[in-house]
């Protein structure tokens, strides 16, 4: 199953480790993680969101990191995933 990882990146000094840990856990369970923390730096916020929504479109599920509610982007991704009937998993 393709699963998108959602959580805070902006202002989160530990985002790389948090997303990598989730990615490795999902891989160990046989899933294909879609990790937005691997996107290149230098894009505008809405450009990132456009790419992230496209990643959610091709996924079957959304994995929410424990601290996801503190992220406006992750909250948008959650709403988008719900609207598009994706399975939701919480870490």
**Cut 0.85: pTM above it:** yes
pLDDT at 88: 98
Domain of 81: which CATH number?
A: 3.40.50.450
| Count of domains forming the chain | 1
**Residues spanned by the domain of 84:** 2-90
Q: What is the pLDDT of residues 16-50, one digit of tens each?
A: 999 999 999 999 999 999 999 999 999 999 999 99
Burial call 39-71: b when 16+ CB within 10 Å, e when fewer:
eeeeeeeeebbeebeebbeebebbbbbeebeeb
């Amino acid at each position: 199953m393709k699963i998108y990882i959602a959580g805070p990146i902006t202002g989160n000094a530990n985002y790389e480790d948090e997303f990598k840990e989730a990615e490795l856990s999902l891989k160990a369970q046989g899933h294909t993680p879609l990790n937005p923390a691997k996107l290149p730096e230098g894009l505008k916020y809405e450009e990132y969101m456009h790419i992230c929504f496209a990643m959610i479109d091709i996924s079957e599920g959304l994995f929410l990191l424990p601290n996801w509610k503190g992220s406006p982007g992750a909250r948008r991704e959650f709403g988008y995933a719900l609207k598009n009937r994706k399975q939701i998993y919480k870490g």
